[in-house]
Amino acid sequence: MKNPKDSRRDFLKKSLSATAALTLGGVLPAFSSKSYRNILGANERIKVAVMGVNSRGYALALNFASQPNAEVLHVSDVDSLAAEKCIQAVSMVQQKIPKNTLDFRKSLEDKDMDVLVVAAPDHWHAPAAILACKAGKDVYLEKPASHNPNEGELLLQATNKYKRIIQMGNQRRSWPHVAEAIKALHAGVIGRPYMAKTWYSNNRAPIGIGKKVPVPQHLDYDLWQGPAPREDYRDNIIHYNWHWFWNWGTGESLNNGTHMVDLARWGLQVNYPTTVSSAGGRYHYQDDWETPDTQIINLEFENKSLITWEGRSCNGLNVESSSVGVIFYGEEGAIKIDGGNNYSILDRQNKVVKEVKYERQVDPRNLSDPTHELDSIHIQNMFDAIRKGTPLAADIYGGQTSTLLVQLGNIAQRVGRSLDIDPKTGHILNNPEALQYWSRAYQPGWEPSI
């Protein structure tokens, strides 16, 4: 009788191989993933280390491993169970076992490693990317670019100083139909666009009141906290609920709002606002959740345009038939981009004059891998930037600007009033209380520096 573990392993291998073949089909349809990979010598592949592989990082590790011109060299996670699971899955895809490197900083010492993929919690994003730049590595950085505005500025300084490439995980900038919609918007298909409404909705459960319990043996909690000031381990923080605690996370606005606000900023061709306001709070449940579960951020710009973001973490009612999206309102109509690679153009009488749909389903509420195939385009864009000097679809300069917009929204929320912003720099004007949130306190000895 066949061992159940062997059956499961065979199933995983077939499933992952099929996924890899599907992804590669979009790159070079005439070849299977195995034959295409054999075309490229080991020295021509971009070697990758993936930091944080419990959820989104797991999907990214598999995606990078499935690219014919890449190899996952290191898997780094403070949770040994997550690391082992990812290593097994990656090994099946690329037919080579990556190194299990608990501390990602050790992977930065590897001269063969080219790119650090940062998918750890938000408080690690900028510090890890800065360390990678200092080590001479390029970076694929999941959103948000930083935990706070000061870290974002340090990250840009590091990028300039060490001349590194950082592609931010605003992958929708590489999705073909989304890019097509923005191109049509810029060409004037709805006249001058002056407002972008963005949103995200979900039905997240309560997280309860955490209890102080011993740290699991498979978790290095000190390394997980890293630059963040130390807090006792509680049973309702790891692996996902850290998003809702200010010490490590940035709330739904940066968790999901960053994506749509980035599209809004791209479409309206704006950078820094003049005024930022926010309303909301933890409305649905009474528990340890600190960031808003219900929030509306308004960002006003000098060119008489407006971006709004509506986040509803605990009420998943769709807006315009989608759980996530952006609508641009212009003088002659509107353009709607939903959570997938789809868009529609409407005239002033609400008539759909053009509708473009992607042939495959995209699940924007999938926590780890909304669309493997489309994300491959974003990865290949970064590889082209490294190898050929091709412009990045989502460089860190624009990525941090979009991140800053929602950071400013969170700061307005925390001080309870509107912020005046310098439209040339994005800095807060005449508000000492708000400026307290521009940076953060660090665990001594873990402060990021360039």
CA atoms within 13 A on the CB side of 61: 34
Q: Mark which of 121, 152, 171 sits at the end of a domain.
A: 171
Return the pLDDT at 227. Answer: 98
Return the pLDDT at 368. Answer: 53
> Are 131 and 231 in the same domain?
no
392 in a structural domain: no
We report the CATH number of the domain holding residue 127 as 3.40.50.720
Residue 38 has a CB neighbour count (10 Å cut-off) of 11
With contact defined as beta carbons under 8 Å apart, do 323 and 200 qualify? Answer: yes
Q: Tell me which residue has tokens 């209380």.
A: 433
381 in a structural domain: no
We report the CATH number of the domain holding residue 226 as 3.30.360.10
The two three-digit tokens of residue 301, written as one number: 């710009």
Determine the average pLDDT of the residues in 407-420: 98
pLDDT digits (tens, 9 = 90+) for 130-161: 999 999 999 999 999 999 999 999 999 999 99
Band the pLDDT of 373: cuts 50, 70, 90: confident
> Are 151 and 250 in the same domain?
no
Containing structural domain, residue 51: 4-171
Q: Is 79 helix (H, G, I), strand (E, B) or coil?
A: strand
The dihedral through the CA atoms of 80, 86, 88, 90 has a sign that is negative
376 in a structural domain: no
Number of domains in the chain: 2
Q: Mark which of 171, 186, 201 sits at the end of a domain.
A: 171
320 in a structural domain: yes
> Are 146 and 183 in the same domain?
no
Q: Mark which of 150, 171, 192 sits at the end of a domain.
A: 171
pLDDT surpassing 70 at residue 347: yes
Q: Find all residues with CB under 8 Å of 292, minimum gap 6, and list them.
A: 251, 252, 253, 280, 281, 282, 283, 311, 313, 413
Determine the average pLDDT of the residues in 71-90: 98
